[in-house]
Amino acid sequence: MAKARIIQQAPILFVSDLLKGIDYWTNQVGFKTLGVWGEPPDFSILARDNAHLMLSKAPEGHEITPHWQVRDKMWNAYFWVDDARTMYDELIERGARIDYELHEKPYGVLEFGIQDLDNQDIAFGQDFDPAGGAT
């Protein structure tokens, strides 16, 4: 029997202000807006390279709780990249909110993190060979 393949995935983040969230992800993180829906707008899909991200306006009165407030050092989204150093330098230059600096993790990943406008942590990581650096 043939098996269906997963070809992409998209983390979904709640945002307190959709238009400000779109602006942050496009200008500071380099994503492109693929679409915005709702009247007033309450949902958007963005993309960068092979990664997608969905932003959903949180309901009025809903307090967004970043995952790190529930479990220490837990992200809301994680993106694997092919060159963490270059991505890190680019996002600093773009003015992204750096949460933690680029460094090697004990689980074999060269990694850094940013925060969105609602203080949610998003990490970017590249696998590395402990004997020879990033792969």
Q: What is the CATH number of the domain that holds 38?
A: 3.10.180.10
Is 110 among the domain residues?
yes
Strands 77-80 vs 32-37: parallel, antiparallel or unpaired:
unpaired
Q: Is 132's pLDDT higher than 60? A: no
For 107, the domain range is 12-58+75-134
Establish if 3 belongs to a structural domain: no
Q: Is the pLDDT of residue 131 over 70?
A: no
What value does the mean pLDDT take over residues 32-55?
A: 97
User: Cα–chain-centroid distance for residue 18?
Assistant: 15
pTM above 0.85, yes or no: yes
Residue 41 contacts by C-beta under 8 Å, 6 or more apart in sequence?
18, 19, 57
Can you say whether the dihedral through the CA atoms of 28, 29, 32, 38 is positive or negative? negative
Residue 4 covered by a domain: no
Is residue 25 a contact partner of residue 31, using CB atoms and an 8 Å limit? yes
Q: Is residue 7 part of a domain?
A: no
* Three-state DSSP state, 41: coil
What does pLDDT average to over the chain? 95
